[in-house]
Structure 1
């Protein structure tokens, strides 16, 4: 369905029992709401109602051109506005990658709107910032961001039929084609997605406070982006019931590589 909010039109994929407890699903780069296709049925079977939001840059009706429109506070405000449009006072939030970053902001700044948080792959921003400061290995993991933030990011990622994007998504097998095709064929989509990286500044990470809602952080030991230190220190920034779930042998793409394990972790959190 299409949701009008903040002057934009957001695509939202809904599913599950109409009277189910609401769960907001927030995707990451370079995916979209489809990354939850393997997870959502498991949540529906538990009686939950899911709303998978195509975030700004991904929804065709929500692609502002200015880089400043992709500061993390903007997609966080989008999520709140979409909940308002759906007449949902509060929801459980599951976010992956950039969606996890948005989830951390929502939980820290709008705790009354977030029943629980399940953050996947990306840790609390303050834990990540600390690891970037003290671990050269974590800084090395983020080397790709220089390309993503550069003016040639789109051209490099789409060269050779999207060879670099396909390599990034190799663990997903055939599902990688879903996202490569969309980035290649939809005007402005990749630029909007890369603008999240271009707008990112260290002070944004430093400004995220302690989370006071029940939280689970799901990290995988073969994630090439986030190292162990940031994962272990995320709990320092949660002043509520907290669990770290470490998956073995899984890369960054947890919702599609390990949907059963993620569903189990999320349901444990949601069901208390």
Structure 2
């Protein structure tokens, strides 16, 4: 059976008033840091296929479980999961290792944090590589309010906010079933079903499509969430409108060289105006769904390493 300790030996690093469980590799490459930021409901372990390739390419690879996840701290206060706290953790992680800046890689919610970090602390981000979630334009209406108008109160972002604790309890009670049913690929297209999608997944008897990972890899996620629960990660969603306010007065343009990696079959839509906000962006699309770096690990590694090599020549 796999455990995250087969993956890398974690250490608890004090940052920003919390402790993060951090997995690290390639210390011999000190001075060339790359920090990998997972999404929801994920774990540092989601980057297991990227770490050896990045170390071999000469990077000091730092992979935190962000607050709310794994053995990292899980503050009780919802507001402690806003974009200022989440990006502050990464700034403090840079300080811990003695780095002025690093390349940041994010998937899903990790990408949202990396976009936010680049806006709030531009001097600490050297290059951006984000997977799945493109830059989200800050419109006139707070994000949850907007999503409720467009997608209704059962949409899971909205439900997490309007019915606190309800989904958390159901996911906590069904951690194995929820994660098994969520981590699928080649899921046949179907009409959206009524109700709240994540609760439906947690209670569905039979998974659709094919598994993204082996049973032993899935065990790593299941044991982590059985121990930590889902509330910490869900609290990230509960700060979306707060984040909308916190980002009101920052320059909305990402100036750093950026690579955006999409999965062509991801449910998250591609951005139609990405270059308006991220002028130095290169875009790669892979033939996969949402769990890009786990579904297509070799192609993901190739896309990242090819782009980084081109940046160093430029």
Tell me which interval the TM-score lies in, with the shorter structure as reference length.
0.7 to 0.9
**Matches of 1:244 and 1:215, distance apart in 2:** 8
Q: Tell me whether 1:27 sits opposite 2:66 in the alignment.
A: no
- Number of the residue aligned with 1:63: 74
Choose the corresponding residue for 2:263, options 205, 217, 220: 220
Out of 281, 285, 291, the position equivalent to 1:242 is 281
Residues 254, 99 of structure 1: alpha-carbon distance in 2 compared, 3 angstrom cutoff: same
Question: Is 2:164 aligned against 1:123?
Answer: no
Select the structure of larger CA radius of gyration: 2
Q: What is the TM-score normalised by the length of structure 1?
A: 0.86
- Is it true that 1:266 corresponds to 2:266 in the alignment? no
User: Which residue is 1:143 aligned to?
Assistant: 155
Give the superposition deviation at 1:53. 0.9
Confirm whether residue 13 of structure 1 aligns to residue 53 of structure 2: no
Q: Any idea what the Cα deviations from partners look like across 1:154-211, whole Å, max 9, x if unmatched?
A: 2222344532332111232333332122112x14x41111111122217259646110
In structure 1, the residue corresponding to 2:67 is in which secondary structure? coil
Q: Which SS does the other structure have where 2:260 is aligned?
A: strand
- How far, CA to CA, are the matches of 2:140 and 2:295 in structure 1? 27
Q: How does 1:38-187 map to 2 (within 5 A)?
A: 38-126=49-137, 139=151, 143-149=155-161, 150=163, 151-160=165-174, 162-171=176-185, 172-174=212-214, 175-184=217-226, 186-187=227-228
Q: Distance in 2 between matches of 1:144 and 1:52?
A: 27
Q: Distance in 2 between matches of 1:7 and 1:154?
A: 25
Conserved? CA contact 2:172–2:230, under 8 Å = no
Could you tell me which residue of structure 2 aligns to residue 251 of structure 1? 289
Structure 1 runs not aligned, ≥5 long: none
Q: Assess if the C-alpha contact under 8 Å between 2:103 and 2:125 holds in 1.
A: yes
Deviates more, 1:2-11 or 1:169-178: 169-178
The structure richer in helix per residue is 1
Secondary structure of 2:301's match? helix
List gaps (5 residues or longer) in structure 2.
1-10, 186-211
Given that 1:118 and 1:269 are in contact with CA atoms closer than 8 Å, whether structure 2 keeps it comes out as: no
Rounded Cα–Cα distance in structure 2 between residues aligned with 1:64 and 1:116: 30
Deviations 1:224-251 (A, max 9, x none): 2x113xx232222113x21111112x11
- Output the CA distance in 2 between the equivalents of 1:50 and 1:72: 23
Per-residue displacement from partner, 1:82-131 (whole Å, max 9, x unpaired)? 1101101111110111110111112222222111100111110217999x
Report whether the alignment pairs 1:210 with 2:224.
no
| C-alpha distance 206-4 of structure 1, shift in aligned 2 (>3 A) | closer
1:247–1:127 CA distance, 2 compared to 1 (3 A): farther
SS in 2 for 1:34: helix
Partners of 1:182 and 1:134 in 2: CA distance: 33
> How far apart, in 2, do the equivalents of 1:222 and 1:195 lie?
27
